[in-house]
Amino acid sequence: MGLSSGACAQEKVSNPVHEPGAADPVSLKPVIITADPLRGAQTDVTRPVLILSRDRLQARDLRSMGEAVSQEPGVSSSDFGPAVGRPVIRGLGGARVRVLEDGIGTMDVSTVSPDHAVAAEVLFADQIEIFRGSSALLYGSGASGGVVNIVNRRIPEQVPEEAGGDLYGHYSSVADNLTGAFRLNTGAGRFAWHLEGMQRRAGDYSIPGFAQTQPGPGAKKGRVENSDVRTKNFSSGLSYIGEQGFLGVAVSRFINHYGVPGNEEKTRIRQKQTRFDLKGALDHPLPGLQKIKLRGGYNNHAHRESGDEEDETLLMNREWDGRFEVLHQPLGNWEGVLGLQYQNRNFFSTGGETFVPDAHMDSLGMFLLEKRNIGRWLVEMGGRFEQQWTERREDGFKTGHGVFSVSGGITWKFIEGYSLRYSISHTVRAPALEELYSSGPHPATNSFEIGKTTLLNEKTSGADLSLSRQEGDLDWTLNLFANRVNNFIFLRESDLTGDGLPDRVSIRGIPDQNGLLLLNYEQRNASFLGAEFETTAHLLHDHHGRLDVRLWADYVRGRLSGGGYLPRMTPLRFGSAFDYVRGPWRGRVDVMRVHKQTDTAPLETDTAGYTMLNVQLDYRFDRGRINYNLFMRGANLLNEEARRHTSFLKDQAPLPGRSGLAGVRINF
């Protein structure tokens, strides 16, 4: 469930809607993509972009970043328990998908391991923007799979006319989950101020059967042990609003304490983070310039892991991330932006189970995006050059990678309401720190990982074709995509003994038949093919209410050259949702079917299919200027034993069983 913003009371939607009882539709402004430097509408870009509005997020499970977006075409979750879930876009996850907060990175250690949570709270999101494929070109060479941007507006960009905010709370039965949050927006003169906070307490979550697919003697049904979560998040922002722009700062504190399920050592993780943000913009600073924008942040992130053993592992990430963008006045009908981005990362680790050594990384990138309307045609092209330097502190070993990426696209609005989009790209990704320098045990994935300092740049050539209709009572979009990746980096099992079986080692790297799976980072060419479809039919828009029906489906296949499927590929999925509004009442039923995954990598097991059925009922009313929303939600009503193929924990921790949720949201 999402919180609404007192500073942005009116939601922006892309299509006219009928208010129940109204004779004519109310036309609202189009959805604006905040992470697009040109602030274009969703229909004014050639790149594949998804927008999840605040209203759409209210019907989602927001326990993790990945879960919040997992019902969008082409997007799933890595799912490592209720506290952890990074987005998986078109079969790609980890460091290939970058998660942003208001345009810059979360600067945590969530890409280092799948059991590390994203240090950002989606409960505060006003909207979430998903950039698939080449859309990520402007946000870093590492984001070859895509970008997910959480828009939370912690730094105000305007002074509110009057103080406002919201209160939120819910209880969920599946894990005795109690969550509460608040937001406040106010201002005086030329200053605007924002304050927000939340707290979550959840116990071990319930499931319909055993946690393990092959339960051992003494295994207990009905609950996933060590899956509890405790989260606190507080932040405050202050801005000075001038006649030509604004300048603001924010500070936030994030504390997350959770268990890692499916782990015999009952590993506990404690995250603590202090983050400082800066944001500003200035209109018409010089002749020929339309606007300059500045966005920066510094993060001090500490991540502690401990289990039944006394030894503790500590990971620390101190990182700077900043962007400077210059938007020029139209030149020959071309609109564009030129920008610089700089990242500085210092990673430290101590403890017996540390598998990524202390390392330093600097990255400097320059990007350009230009677009032009020519009648019914929209042309867009962009490029990015980036230089990355890394250093392993223990021996001073250094690597350098220079990457250049380009993309181009065209949109043809051949009939009113219909458009055809085609984009091509060539993106280059430098290896991540963990891919270069890993060397040690990784109990979270039951593996012993070894990096490779000679890894080459990963080069992806891709094409997207999209046909859409945004007109009248029926909207639909069909996406087709194909990507060829040279030097694709992946973890591969070893057979050094030549016995035809994967090698296993003890925690000290000594051969052990029952030990950790020995994995090495390798490179090979790979290909990805897929399709996504989504349609919404507005069946009823009159005094009887409003009824919308949504249907969607997606498919992706990833293979290595020479044969063999890539691991943890999202299986075929399709779903539907029925949304009915009448007066103060709103009801929603959504169903998702996930097919069995049998296209598996070596040593990977098949995953059974499942059907998820969810329902929600809202009642909204006003008392003076205060708006109340009472809601109830039922999740996994069929009580399915659902295991996500994209998860390392699919055989140890299924998704939560049947649950009920009740809550209230108060806007003032």
CB 395 within 8 A of CB 406: no
> How many angstroms separate the CA atoms of 264 and 257, rounded?
18
Q: What are 237-247's pLDDT values in tens digits?
A: 999 999 999 99
Q: Count Cβ neighbours within 10 Å for each residue of 33-57 and write b for 16 or more, e otherwise.
A: bbbbbbebebbbbbbbbbbbbbebb
* Residue located via tokens 């932006």: 337
* Tokens read off for 211: 């946690």
Mean pLDDT of 131-145: 72
Mean pLDDT of 88-108: 91
Residue 262's SS3 state is coil
Q: What is the pLDDT of residue 16?
A: 34
> How many angstroms separate the CA atoms of 30 and 40, rounded?
9
Mean pLDDT of 524-531: 96
Residue 26's pLDDT band (boundaries 50, 70, 90)? very low
CB 571 within 8 A of CB 609: yes
For the cut 60, the answer to whether the pLDDT of residue 2 exceeds it is: no
Mean pLDDT of 260-285: 92
CB 657 within 8 A of CB 642: no
For the cut 80, the answer to whether the pLDDT of residue 270 exceeds it is: yes
| Amino acid, res. 556 | V
Q: What are 315-369's pLDDT values in tens digits?
A: 999 999 999 999 999 998 899 999 999 999 999 999 877 889 999 999 999 999 9
Residue 17's pLDDT band (boundaries 50, 70, 90)? very low
For the cut 60, the answer to whether the pLDDT of residue 468 exceeds it is: yes
Mean pLDDT of 127-150: 79
pTM of the model: 0.89
> How many angstroms separate the CA atoms of 559 and 482, rounded?
12
* Tokens read off for 249: 């700062």
Residue 58's pLDDT band (boundaries 50, 70, 90)? confident
| Amino acid, res. 64 | S
Q: How far is CA 349 from CA 357, 452, 508, in A?
A: 6, 19, 17
Strands 516-542 and 447-450: parallel
Q: What is the pLDDT of residue 517?
A: 82
Rounded to the nearest integer, the mean pLDDT of the chain is 88
Mean pLDDT of 213-229: 91
For the cut 80, the answer to whether the pLDDT of residue 28 exceeds it is: no
Mean pLDDT lowest for which of 82-96, 417-431, 433-447?
433-447
DSSP code of residue 56:
H
User: CA nearest 136: which of 230, 232, 36?
Assistant: 36
For the cut 60, the answer to whether the pLDDT of residue 410 exceeds it is: yes
Q: What is the pLDDT of residue 216?
A: 84
Between CA 58 and CA 279, with CA 83 as vertex, the angle to 5 degrees is 65
Mean pLDDT of 100-115: 91
How many residues does this entry show for the chain?
Answer: 668
Mean pLDDT of 9-30: 38
Q: What is the pLDDT of residue 170?
A: 96
Q: How far is CA 103 from CA 14, 33, 296, 385, 487, in A?
A: 22, 11, 9, 19, 29
For the cut 50, the answer to whether the pLDDT of residue 54 exceeds it is: yes
DSSP 185-235: EEEETTEEEEEEEEEEEE-PPEEEEESSSS--TT--EEE-TT--EEEEEEE
> How many angstroms separate the CA atoms of 481 and 467, rounded?
12
For the cut 80, the answer to whether the pLDDT of residue 36 exceeds it is: no
Residue 37's pLDDT band (boundaries 50, 70, 90)? low
Return the bridge partners of 505, or none. 511, 516
Q: What is the pLDDT of residue 40?
A: 56
Q: How far is CA 200 from CA 70, 168, 229, 255, in A?
A: 21, 12, 7, 10
A 10 A CB-CB count for 583 gives 11
For the cut 50, the answer to whether the pLDDT of residue 667 exceeds it is: yes
> How many angstroms separate the CA atoms of 309 and 268, rounded?
11
For the cut 70, the answer to whether the pLDDT of residue 528 exceeds it is: yes
For the cut 90, the answer to whether the pLDDT of residue 21 exceeds it is: no
Q: CB within 8 A of 218, min separation 6: which ones?
A: none
For the cut 50, the answer to whether the pLDDT of residue 11 exceeds it is: no
Q: What is the pLDDT of residue 23?
A: 36
Residue 65's SS3 state is helix
Higher-scoring residue by pLDDT: 181, 518: 181
Residue 167's pLDDT band (boundaries 50, 70, 90)? very high
Q: What are 532-586's pLDDT values in tens digits?
A: 999 999 999 888 899 999 999 999 999 999 889 999 999 999 999 999 999 999 9
Torsion of CA 117, 118, 119, 121, to 10 degrees: -110
For the cut 50, the answer to whether the pLDDT of residue 47 exceeds it is: yes
Mean pLDDT of 467-472: 91
Q: How far is CA 263 from CA 417, 567, 568, in A?
A: 52, 21, 20
* Residue located via tokens 């309401």: 417
Strands 610-623 and 447-450: unpaired
* Residue located via tokens 């055993």: 210
Q: What are 598-611's pLDDT values in tens digits?
A: 999 887 899 999 99
CB 104 within 8 A of CB 296: yes
> How many angstroms separate the CA atoms of 363 and 386, rounded?
7
Q: CB within 8 A of 667, min separation 6: which ones?
A: 4, 6, 9, 164, 165, 166, 626, 627, 629
Return the bridge partners of 179, or none. 170, 200
Q: What is the pLDDT of residue 5?
A: 39
Q: What is the pLDDT of residue 511?
A: 67
DSSP 511-540: B-TTSEEEEEEEEEEEEEEEEEEEEEEEEE
Q: What is the pLDDT of residue 18?
A: 34
Mean pLDDT of 639-660: 95
pLDDT more than 90, % of the chain: 69
CB 502 within 8 A of CB 448: no
For residue 664, how far is the Cα from the chain centroid?
26
Q: How far is CA 405 from CA 137, 139, 141, 270, 410, in A?
A: 7, 11, 8, 37, 18
Mean pLDDT lowest for which of 287-296, 297-306, 600-609?
600-609
CB 495 within 8 A of CB 462: no
For the cut 60, the answer to whether the pLDDT of residue 41 exceeds it is: no
Domains with residue ranges and CATH for the chain: 42-212+229-265+273-667 (2.40.170.20)
Q: What is the pLDDT of residue 144?
A: 80
Q: What are phi and psi of 445, to 5 degrees?
A: -105, 10
- Positive or negative, the CA dihedral 305, 308, 310, 311 is negative
